[in-house]
Chains A and B, each alone.
Chain A
Amino acid sequence: MLLKEFPLTPTGCRLVQQSLDMADFNVVQQIAILSHCQKCPTCQKYSQELTNLRALLISQVRIQVPNDFDIKLRQKIAASKTAKPISFWGQWVSQPAFGVSLAATVVIGVLVGVSYYRQPSIITIPTSSTTEVSNNVTPITKQPLTNNISDTVNQSPDAEAKRILSERAKVRVPDYVASNENRSLARKARPLNQAPKQLSLDEIDVEIHYGSASRTLPLSAVTYGSRPVLKVDNVSTGENKNSGIAPEAKIF
């Protein structure tokens, strides 16, 4: 009867060990467990180790209460009666986590501030300074002009503009007008990340030089067939035909 409850099988051993773990069994069960353990070395060892472990734990030295325990307890009770209650915010501020959060917030704020002030070129350059730069390097900042005029031009914009002006006004366009040097200067002068200003034909004049004299004429575009060309109206070079001085054109 009893052996049937805890047979010598893995299931029986598991039940015995569970009962030993609980240490919660009646006399009949205890006899059955003892009977099983006498025949099962595994459960016998398990039971012995458990008994020894409990004995070890119970044998731990009990510490003594210090002599001044009651006195200090009284002092704490007296202190708690006189102590002011701490507010919710006071408790929160007194937590160590508050200091850590505050320090982290300050560090993040400083980093964000530094990163903000390290990129002023995009945000703070006024428009007027860009205009000034464009005036100083006139031919280059108007480079997109030719893109508006002719989509079919395969040459560089400056060269195309020079060619058209030379043909229509019969003037010599000096090289410096569209030189690579000026282009380079314009590129340096223009702030990074700033797109070239797009100009319409109405905004562009052509300056014609006759020796020491000069005239400024509006620039327009007309289309001959499918090919757009630049046109400068009212150009007269009659006065200077015999002077031997070739007029010069400057786009600005």
Chain B
Amino acid sequence: MSSLSYSAEIDLANGVSSATDHELVMAIGQGDEAAFQEIVHRYRNQIINFIYRMLNDYDRATDLSQETFLRIYTSAHKYQATYSFSTYIYRIAANLAISELRQRKRRRWVSFLLPFRSHDDTEQEMEFPDQAPLPDEIMIDAERRKAVSIAIQSLPEKYRLTLVLRDVEGLSYEEITEITSLSEGTVKSRINRGRNLLRDKLQKYI
């Protein structure tokens, strides 16, 4: 432990940007704010996009991303380098996203998102208003992205998680296995089923 802390201090002396994730987390556990800031900058884009793909809710994705980093900050002293840090942070984010999805399922009958739902009971892709006229190609592209997003949201939670981690975030099977605590066979099976479901839903785009 002391040797790890020592090595973290050595690397951080050269600047947090050159330190490894593990060294940064060790430094966060010792109260280093700069190390925490570096971790946030390294992972905030990935985490917010991953949660957004799971929830399709920009504001909630932002909140849960911040919650993920808050948990990293408060439990950095408990961190054990059994797995890579990226697996650790994705695991926290995945748990928060799944918890949010389950809460939504429970309170769906009093949904306050009704105005933002489409006729087939799936949440609409968030799109920022653009006043510029859209060329046909852009419109088609936007429609396709919207269809993909709706198709992902319609997947069962267990298929959605593995498929997003693999095909959207580009993680390896081994990393997904560590994040989800599932066997490799189960992970592959779920990804395959998720793809088959998506293929059926997006037949006209592929």
Residues of A within 8 A of B (CB): 21-22, 24, 48-50, 52-54, 56-63, 65-66, 69-70, 72-73, 76-77, 80
CA of A61 to CA of B152 in the docked complex: distance in angstroms?
14
Instruction: Return 27 A-B CB contacts under 8 Å, by A number.
Output: A21-B192, A22-B173, A24-B173, A48-B206, A49-B199, A52-B206, A53-B195, A53-B198, A54-B167, A56-B202, A57-B152, A57-B168, A57-B198, A60-B145, A60-B149, A63-B52, A63-B58, A63-B61, A65-B62, A66-B62, A69-B62, A69-B66, A70-B37, A72-B66, A73-B40, A73-B70, A80-B70
User: B66, A60: Cβ atoms under 8 Å?
Assistant: no
CA of A65 to CA of B37 in the docked complex: distance in angstroms?
15
User: B58, A58: Cβ atoms under 8 Å?
Assistant: no
Is B91 interfacial (CB 8 A cutoff)?
A: no
CB distance from A151 to the nearest CB of B (A): 69
Q: Which of B4-12, B43-51, B77-85, B111-119 forms contacts with chain A?
A: B43-51
Task: State the interface size on chain B (CB cutoff 8 A).
Answer: 37
- Contact mask B54-66 → A, CB, 8 Å, 1/0? 0000100110011
CB distance from B199 to the nearest CB of A (A): 6
Is B188 interfacial (CB 8 A cutoff)?
A: yes
CA of A65 to CA of B74 in the docked complex: distance in angstroms?
22
User: A62, B49: Cβ atoms under 8 Å?
Assistant: yes
In the complex, the chain B residue whose C-beta lies closest to that of A59 is B145
Is B34 interfacial (CB 8 A cutoff)?
A: no
Is B109 interfacial (CB 8 A cutoff)?
A: no
CA of A45 to CA of B12 in the docked complex: distance in angstroms?
52
A57-B167 in contact given A50-B195, A77-B73 (Cβ < 8 Å): yes
Chain A residues, Cβ within 8 Å of B195: 21, 50, 53
Residues of B within 8 A of A (CB): 37, 40, 44-45, 48-49, 52-53, 58, 61-62, 65-67, 69-70, 73-74, 144-145, 148-149, 152, 163, 167-168, 170, 173, 188, 191-192, 195, 198-199, 202, 205-206
User: A58, B70: Cβ atoms under 8 Å?
Assistant: no
User: A56, B148: Cβ atoms under 8 Å?
Assistant: yes
Chain A residues, Cβ within 8 Å of B191: 21
If over half of A's interface residues share one DSSP class (helix, strand or loop), that class is named, otherwise mixed; here it is helix
CA of A24 to CA of B203 in the docked complex: distance in angstroms?
24
Contact check: which of B45, B70, B152, B199 meets A77 at CB < 8 Å?
Answer: B70
User: A69, B44: Cβ atoms under 8 Å?
Assistant: yes
CA of A72 to CA of B163 in the docked complex: distance in angstroms?
30
In the complex, the chain B residue whose C-beta lies closest to that of A73 is B66
CB distance from A18 to the nearest CB of B (A): 8
Known: A53-B206, A66-B62, A77-B70. 9 other contacts (CB 8 A): A22-B188, A49-B206, A50-B195, A53-B198, A56-B144, A57-B198, A60-B168, A63-B48, A72-B62
CB distance from A19 to the nearest CB of B (A): 12
CA of A24 to CA of B163 in the docked complex: distance in angstroms?
16
User: B40, A70: Cβ atoms under 8 Å?
Assistant: yes
Chain A residues, Cβ within 8 Å of B48: 63, 65, 69
CB distance from A14 to the nearest CB of B (A): 12
Chain B residues, Cβ within 8 Å of A65: 44-45, 48, 62, 65
Question: Sorted from nearest, which 5 A-B pairs have the closest CB atoms?
Answer: A52-B206, A57-B167, A73-B66, A49-B206, A21-B192
CB distance from B13 to the nearest CB of A (A): 24
Chain B residues, Cβ within 8 Å of A76: 66-67, 70
A57-B49 in contact given A21-B195, A63-B61, A73-B70 (Cβ < 8 Å): no
CB distance from B204 to the nearest CB of A (A): 11
A53-B49 in contact given A24-B173, A65-B44 (Cβ < 8 Å): no
User: B188, A21: Cβ atoms under 8 Å?
Assistant: yes
Contact check: which of B61, B168, B205 meets A58 at CB < 8 Å?
Answer: B168
In the complex, the chain B residue whose C-beta lies closest to that of A22 is B188
CA of A68 to CA of B199 in the docked complex: distance in angstroms?
38
CB distance from B167 to the nearest CB of A (A): 4
User: A60, B202: Cβ atoms under 8 Å?
Assistant: no
CA of A57 to CA of B148 in the docked complex: distance in angstroms?
7
CA of A73 to CA of B191 in the docked complex: distance in angstroms?
33
CA of A66 to CA of B59 in the docked complex: distance in angstroms?
9
Chain A residues, Cβ within 8 Å of B58: 63
CB distance from A213 to the nearest CB of B (A): 85
